[in-house]
Amino acid sequence: MGYPKPPMVLDDDMILVNTFEEAFGDIYPKGVWRELGKKASSNIARYVVALASFIGYKRSFACTGFFIEWNGSTIILTSASLVRSSSDENRIDENLRIEVLLPSKRRTEGRLQHYSLHYNIALVSVEDCRVVRPANVHPSRFGWSKVAAIGHCFESGALMATCGDLVSWSGTLDCQYIVRSTCKITKAGIGGPLVNLDEEVLGMNFCDTRIGTPFLLWTDIDNILAHFREKSKAIEFGSDSVPSGAAFWKMHGDHSGLLNRWPVPMPCWCHREDVHKDKSEDELVSFDPQTGRKRRYGYIQGVKVELY
């Protein structure tokens, strides 16, 4: 599963946190799904998938994705964290194998087609998969009230949804295009769609358990997808102008000097009481599985660091 081994001395009060199996909200078709309506819920269930990346048989990452229409075909939009190298966040891991859990519950191989590490999105294709109704996207920036974040768990196959509102951004992520909702999701929901109650996709979600759910608006995603289309054309016609640094391409108007960072909470063992502490403390106590010693972690500019 790719998780750290438990401490040598493990008491009943210790649990593994920040896993990819942690559910959120309501499981399809109950709760929030009834607010979305039967038709909308059914459509969402047909285009949302779960993905996982592996090195050999060891899992590296798991997240959500969803089918969109792009460049004359259907393809999965998801988070580039799926393929980001664990040793160098500015690169992808070329050795990763991708598996996709389809809405039919069938698992199939996925293939990375395009990615942007700066904006943390990726396109993954699958073969022999008929998508009747891909996501219905909404390009407008305004006019929404209640929204819902959707996630799909790779192991259990649970399709999850939770409601919230759009709020002003107050997070620590670097990307200047990030917007935020009050939806509370887990790591399993990274890469999933944010939808309005009419089932229109407004953007793609990331995860920050302390402040709600950051997401990229569809208007900005569409600009990135347009760049991917240009890259595909250049490759098709054998152009030498194909950018080699896919991770570092930036949209017009993006004045960031460095590559955006997209930290994800790392799985670790900790005491149950520490999990329920106020998230505003931005601190977590965990145990080194080799030595059994207690370690304290905090967040500095959204990055998990060990505190001394």
| Summary mean pLDDT of the chain | 84
Better-scored residue on pLDDT, 21 or 6: 21
Residue 297 has pLDDT above 60, yes or no: no
Q: What are phi and psi of 120, to 5 degrees?
A: 60, 45
pTM for the full model? 0.85
Better-scored residue on pLDDT, 300 or 143: 143
Q: Give the model's pLDDT for residue 97.
A: 97
Residue 3, Cβ neighbours under 10 Å: how many? Answer: 16
Rounded Cα–Cα distance for residues 28 and 26 (Å): 6
E-assigned strand segments in 40-120: 48-55, 58-70, 73-78, 97-101, 107-116
Q: Give the model's pLDDT for residue 296.
A: 46
Is there a cis peptide before residue 139, judged by omega within 30 degrees of 0?
no
Residue 43, Cβ neighbours under 10 Å: how many? Answer: 19
Q: Give the model's pLDDT for residue 86.
A: 86
Domain locations in the chain as residue ranges: 1-18+265-308
Structure tokens at 179: 């917007």
Element (H, E) at 204: strand 201-205
Instruction: Give per-residue pLDDT as tens, 80-122.
Output: 999 999 888 889 998 999 999 999 999 999 999 999 999 999 9
Per DSSP, 265 falls in state P
Beta partners for 259? Answer: none
**Least reliable range by pLDDT among 130-134, 150-154, 191-195, 280-284:** 280-284
Residue 243 has pLDDT above 50, yes or no: no
pLDDT above 70 covers a percentage of the chain that reads 81
Q: Give the model's pLDDT for residue 3.
A: 92
**Least reliable range by pLDDT among 53-67, 109-123, 268-282:** 268-282
Confidence band of 234 (pLDDT split at 50, 70, 90): low
Residue 64 has pLDDT above 60, yes or no: yes
